[in-house]
């Protein structure tokens, strides 16, 4: 009997406690920088598209929500002709970000993407591509890759030695 | 027309209108208070402090499909929700809100109140029976057993007040508390009456006929739309009724210091008890069905009999000397 009165009193005291509710639209929770939300395609510091159209993200995606078509520009540099993410399927697992070899695809701390029309959840490249490097400033895939491309020859990449003449025995 | 009749009609309209306005308001109050005691906000978007949630809820209930199951006993099914509201509203006839503000000061007021709250059990029984659903039937059987057994102690607890005031009329009972509220000489009676009252309104922690965790809403699991809404309103009216009767019998009804009018005193005290009802809901778990019965027959019945005998003895001794 006493325990009933005690629990009544303890619950009554909760009147003077701070409320836990976050009044969402006015008051927002802080999302951490690694929060997995909306997916974006980033650009390198020289404003070129980072995506090289390798299809690794589409292959890694467990729900098959990414579709793209790779193509090449006049310098032989690969880029996606179209890049489409169906966010009504996306489960925000982040596997595409893990699979991406060029840091092109990234998940950012934003989740407010509700739509009245389901079709509007299919994002094309125009919606996905942002004008910035995202989480990896200063990284340019083509500047560190050993690939000869677009005016950059073999051995001209960052931290790269000149190519070895394989036909010579001199060190 | 006679002025007295117009007066009576005004009082009836006031009581009816007031109750039917306050009962849905309690939905808002309950949700806000529960939220307060659980460190939440509750409904706070629609209108000032979320009061308009009541309107939104009502509109929602009106637009819901009012479905009668094909296997139900249609006439009884439709009748059942009405009974609870009618019986509770009938009980309010004898509740004295202020001197003169009473629909009818029956000389058997308390018996009338008891009779009507017993009739309220029919709503649960018929509702559960007509639903033709095993959970509903289980709920209504529990409800019937609970309400009938707690009715006994409720009546016995009230007899203490009757002995002290020498009248069954609630008006006289309130007048008799001029010197001392009956909660002091009849504290045990008050506790028993209030516990029985909670069981009578089948409110938490004694919501065994509903018991959503085991009986999926029990006797009203087949009800939808406005029929469910009427059960709901009936339950809140029941809370107001038990609170008002407790105030009238044990807490001096409209009596209070002069700076507030009697009606306000009555309403404030009633509101306090309504809040206590909600606090009970916020803090206590539901007992098992057999525990409830055991508690009633093995503890409350002897206690209320003891209370009655001692009160009678004291009254007798005082009269003799």
Q: Do B37 and A12 touch (CB under 8 A)?
A: yes
Count of domains observed in chain A: 1
The reported pLDDT for the residue numbered B1 is: 62
> What burial class does residue B230 get, using C-beta atoms within 10 Å of its C-beta: 0-12 exposed, 13-18 middle, 19+ buried?
buried
The region, left, alpha or beta by phi > 0 then psi within -120 to 50, assigned to residue A134 is left
Contacts of residue B236, Cβ cutoff 8 Å, sequence gap at least 6: B23, B24, B26, B27
Give the pLDDT of residue A67.
92
Give mean pLDDT, residues A131-140: 87
The residue behind tokens 């499909």 is B65
Q: What 3-state class would DSSP assign to B250?
A: helix
When CB atoms are compared, the residue of B37, B39, B284 closest to A20 is B39
Among chain B residues, CA nearest to A25 = B45
Paired with A122 in beta bridges are A86
pLDDT computed for residue A116 by the predictor: 93
Distances (CA, A) of B210 to A19, B82, B201, B217: 30, 18, 11, 4
Q: Is residue B125 very low, low, confident or very high in pLDDT (cuts 50, 70, 90)?
A: confident
- B235, two tokens: 């339950």
pLDDT at position A5 is 86
**Nearest residue to B228 via CA among B48, B64, B102, B35:** B64
- Using a CB–CB cutoff of 8 Å, tell me whether B282 touches chain A: yes
Out of B39, B40, B283, closest to residue A7 by CB = B283
Find the mean pLDDT for residues B294-306. 87
Query: Which residue segment(s) compose the domain that A90 sits in?
Result: 26-140
Residue A138 has pLDDT above 90, yes or no: no
Q: B180 pLDDT band (50/70/90 cuts)?
A: confident
CATH number for the domain spanning A132: value is: 3.30.70.3270
Question: Which range, of A12-16, A36-40, B38-42, B98-102, averages the lowest pLDDT?
Answer: B98-102
Determine the Cα–Cα distance for residues A46 and A75; give it in Å rounded to an integer: 16
pLDDT over 70 (residue B321) = no
Weakest mean pLDDT among B74-88, B117-131, B208-222, B257-271: B208-222
Confidence class for position B313, pLDDT limits 50, 70, 90: confident
Residue A25 is predicted with a pLDDT of 86
What are the pLDDT digits (tens) for B10-37? 888 888 888 888 888 888 888 888 888 8
Question: Would you state the pLDDT for residue A86?
Answer: 92
The confidence score (pLDDT) of residue B289 equals 82
**CB-based contacts of B218: which residues, under 8 Å, 6+ apart?**
B128, B135, B136, B138, B139, B140, B142, B143, B208, B209, B210, B211, B212
Determine the average pLDDT of the residues in A128-157. Answer: 83
Query: How many inter-chain contacts (A to B, CB under 8 Å) are there?
Result: 32
Note the ipTM here.
0.71
Per-residue pLDDT for A63 more than 90? yes
Q: Write the pLDDT tens digit of every residue in B206-252.
A: 877 777 777 777 777 888 878 888 888 888 888 888 888 888 888 87
Name the nearest CA neighbour of B93 among B169, B4, B147.
B169
Q: Which domain does B250 fall in, by range?
A: 3-320
* Average pLDDT along chain B: 83
Element spanning B319, H or E:
helix B301-320
| pLDDT of B103 higher than 80 | no
Q: Specify if A15 maps to a domain.
A: no
- How many structural domains does chain B have? 1
Burial environment of residue A99 by CB neighbours within 10 A (0 to 12, 13 to 18, 19 or more): middle
| Residue of chain A minimizing CA distance to B39 | A19
Instruction: Give me the residue from B40, B41, B283 closest to A11, CB to CB.
Output: B283
DSSP character at residue B286: P
Whether residue B60 is predicted with pLDDT greater than 70 in this model: the reply is yes
Largest distance between two CA atoms of chain B: 68
For chain B, positions 252-281, list CB contacts with chain A under 8 A: 279-280
Report, as an integer, the average pLDDT of A45-64.
90
Q: Quick check: B37 contacting A, CB < 8 Å?
A: yes
d(CA B65, CA B278): 30
Task: Tell me what pLDDT residue A62 has.
Answer: 93
CB contact under 8 A, A12 and B279: yes
């Amino acid at each position: 009997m006493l325990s009933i009165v005690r629990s009544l009193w303890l619950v009554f005291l909760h009147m003077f406690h701070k409320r836990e509710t976050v009044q969402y639209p006015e008051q927002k929770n802080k999302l951490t920088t690694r929060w997995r939300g909306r997916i974006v395609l980033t650009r390198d510091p020289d404003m070129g598209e980072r995506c090289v159209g390798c299809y690794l993200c589409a292959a890694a995606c467990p729900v098959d929500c990414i579709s793209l078509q790779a193509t090449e520009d006049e310098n032989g540099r690969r880029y996606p002709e179209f890049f489409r993410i169906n966010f009504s399927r996306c489960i925000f697992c982040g596997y595409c970000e893990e699979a991406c070899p060029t840091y092109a695809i990234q998940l950012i701390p934003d989740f407010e993407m509700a739509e009245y029309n389901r079709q509007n959840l299919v994002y094309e490249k125009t919606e996905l591509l942002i004008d910035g490097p995202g989480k990896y400033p200063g990284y340019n895939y083509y500047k560190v890759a050993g690939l000869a491309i677009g005016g950059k020859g073999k051995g001209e990449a960052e931290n790269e030695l000149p190519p070895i003449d394989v036909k010579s025995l001199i060190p | 027309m006679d002025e007295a009749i117009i007066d009576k009609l005004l009082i009836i309209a006031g009581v009816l209108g007031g109750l039917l306005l306050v009962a849905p308001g309690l939905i808002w109050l309950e949700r806000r208070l529960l939220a307060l005691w659980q460190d939440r906000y509750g409904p706070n978007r629609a209108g000032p402090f979320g009061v308009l949630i009541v309107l939104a809820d009502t509109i929602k209930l009106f637009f819901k499909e009012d479905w009668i199951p094909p296997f139900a006993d249609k006439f009884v099914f439709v009748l059942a929700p009405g009974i609870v509201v009618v019986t509770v509203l009938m009980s309010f006839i004898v509740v004295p809100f202020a001197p003169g503000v009473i629909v009818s000061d029956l000389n058997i007021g308390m018996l009338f109140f008891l009779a009507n709250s017993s009739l309220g059990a029919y709503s649960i029984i018929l509702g559960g029976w007509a639903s033709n659903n095993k959970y509903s039937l289980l709920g209504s059987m529990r409800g019937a057993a609970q309400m009938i057994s707690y009715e006994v102690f409720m009546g016995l607890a009230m007899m203490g007040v009757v002995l002290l005031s020498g009248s069954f009329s609630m008006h006289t009972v309130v007048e008799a508390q001029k010197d001392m509220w009956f909660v002091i000489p009849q504290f045990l009676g008050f506790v028993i009456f209030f516990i029985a009252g909670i069981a009578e309104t089948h409110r938490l922690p004694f919501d065994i006929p509903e018991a959503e965790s085991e009986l999926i809403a029990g006797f009203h699991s087949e009800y939808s739309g406005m029929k469910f809404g009427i059960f709901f309103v009936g339950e809140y009216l029941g809370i107001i009724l038990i609170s008002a009767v407790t105030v009238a019998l044990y807490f001096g009804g409209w009596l209070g210091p002069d700076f507030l009018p009697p009606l306000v005193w009555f309403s404030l005290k009633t509101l306090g008890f309504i809040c206590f009802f909600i606090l009970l809901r916020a803090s206590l778990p539901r007992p098992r069905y057999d525990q409830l019965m055991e508690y009633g027959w093995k503890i409350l019945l002897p206690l209320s009999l003891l209370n009655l005998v001692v009160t009678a003895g004291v009254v007798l001794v005082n009269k003799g000397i």
